[in-house]
Amino acid sequence: MADRKSLSTLLILDVIAMVVLFLMPDQAGDWKIKGIVIMVLAVAAFLLIFLISRKKEKELHVQVTEVDSVSQMNPGQYLSKGGPVCAGADTRYHVTFLLKDHTSLILSLSAKQAGSLAKGMNGTLIHNGSVFLSFEPEE
């Protein structure tokens, strides 16, 4: 199965081919074939976008290098019983993972997701682009 980077490359090539074909001048009677080919390329582009959005990435031998708390104020407010209007807060964590190729990946996690992570942990990270899915610690 192709990885996210190769699917993205195919998508770029597909879009370039569509644009070139669209901008080419029409020859007599060729506009029907040209329209069909553009439609096929458009369907291929939508399929590639779908595959890229569903592609999970599994990074082996990843180290957690930082777990930083980031508080975000919730714009939705609620009334406390018999008290003033209070703003809600959502504690998020920015977790930095050091990948095998020595690049860093920073993901935003909820308090529940980040609760089991600590600086220095090693394991397998599963994510979908910038969306954290799971971290399985090495034993």
- The mean pLDDT value of the chain amounts to 84
**Do the beta carbons of residue 131 and residue 105 sit within 8 Å?**
no
Name residue, tokens 């708390």: 69
Count up the domains in the chain and report the number: 2
Digit-coded pLDDT (tens) for 42-92: 999 999 999 888 888 888 999 999 998 886 555 555 545 555 545 455 678
Residues 78 and 11 in one domain: no
Q: What is the pLDDT of residue 18?
A: 95
Residues 43 and 61 in one domain: no
133, pLDDT greater than 70: yes
Six-digit token string for 122: 């090693």
**Angle 139-134-89 (CA atoms, 0-180°, nearest 5)?**
120
Query: CA 82, CA 31: separation in Å to the nearest integer?
Result: 71
State the pLDDT confidence band at 99, using cuts at 50, 70 and 90.
Answer: very high
Domain of residue 42: give its range: 4-54
List Cβ neighbours of 16 (8 Å cut-off, separation of 6 or more): none
Together in a domain, 131 and 88: yes
CB 3 within 8 A of CB 48: no
* Dmax (CA) of the chain: 78
Q: What is the pLDDT of residue 12?
A: 96
Both 36 and 17 in one domain: the answer is yes
Last residue of a domain, one of 28, 54, 80: 54
Q: Is residue 97 located within the same domain as residue 115?
A: yes
Q: What are phi and psi of 41, to 5 degrees?
A: -65, -35
Bridge partner residues of 122 (DSSP) = 63
CA–CA dist 120, 6 (Å, integer): 31
Percent of the chain topping pLDDT 70: 84
Same structural domain, 61 and 50: no
Tell me the residue ranges of DSSP E strands in 19-138.
57-79, 85-98, 104-110, 122-128, 131-137
